[in-house]
Amino acid sequence: MDLTMILTIIGAILVLIGVIYNVFSLFEKSKPKVEYIVLLAILVAIAVVGRLVGMSIPGFQFASFIIIMVGIVYGGETGFLVGILTALVSDLFLGLGYWTFFQMIAWGLMGYTSGLFSEKLDNIYLRVIFGFVWGFIYGFITDFAMFPFMSAVNISSLVALYIAAIPLDLVHGIINAVLLAIVYKWFKNIFERNKLKFLNSVEE
């Protein structure tokens, strides 16, 4: 393992520490109610099941669609939390490792940006493009986990790595786009009803 790989792993660990710190800071400042924590657990469970169901198909990530929908309906902070917890919890079943750090970062950012652009994502064309592009962004971030397995980390090896990942990222992006085009309104209505059920009394 050369210096570049070691620095990559150290960087990933530092980022994870930063993410965990910010998550706990968020909870400390907002002091979430029990209803919110229960809702958060349910959303994470749905996303985790979505990931496990799609494991048999290379590149299929139903979890990404759920995380995007969470961000749109519940906001960027909740989308971020569901994203990082989905990676952490699902890897308890699939195998935890330093790659989990990158999955947490990728899905956390996916959920956060979904909330950030939630109003614009009501437009079907923007929504489809958003989901498709995130299939590749997710792959770009998580492919960093392959560095320790590479004999050498240089421009040529990185280009080869990302080219090899294109088919999986393409499937991921297409699945996101198709789901966001076809079942967006259905899931949005379900999530909004549960938002009122769990959070309406808290807001009051």
Q: Which two tokens stand for residue 185?
A: 């309104």
Q: Residue 170, exposed/middle/buried by CB under 10 A (0-12, 13-18, 19+)?
A: middle
C-alpha neighbours within 13 Å on the C-beta side of residue 186: 6
Q: What is the DSSP letter of 75?
A: -
Q: What is the pLDDT along the chain (204 residues), one digit of tens a residue?
A: 455 556 656 666 666 666 666 666 665 666 667 778 888 889 999 999 988 887 777 767 889 999 999 999 999 888 998 998 999 899 888 888 778 888 988 999 999 999 999 999 999 999 999 999 999 999 988 887 776 666 666 677 667 777 877 889 999 999 999 999 999 999 999 999 888 877 664 443
Q: Residue 195, exposed/middle/buried by CB under 10 A (0-12, 13-18, 19+)?
A: middle
* 183 CA to centre of own chain: 19
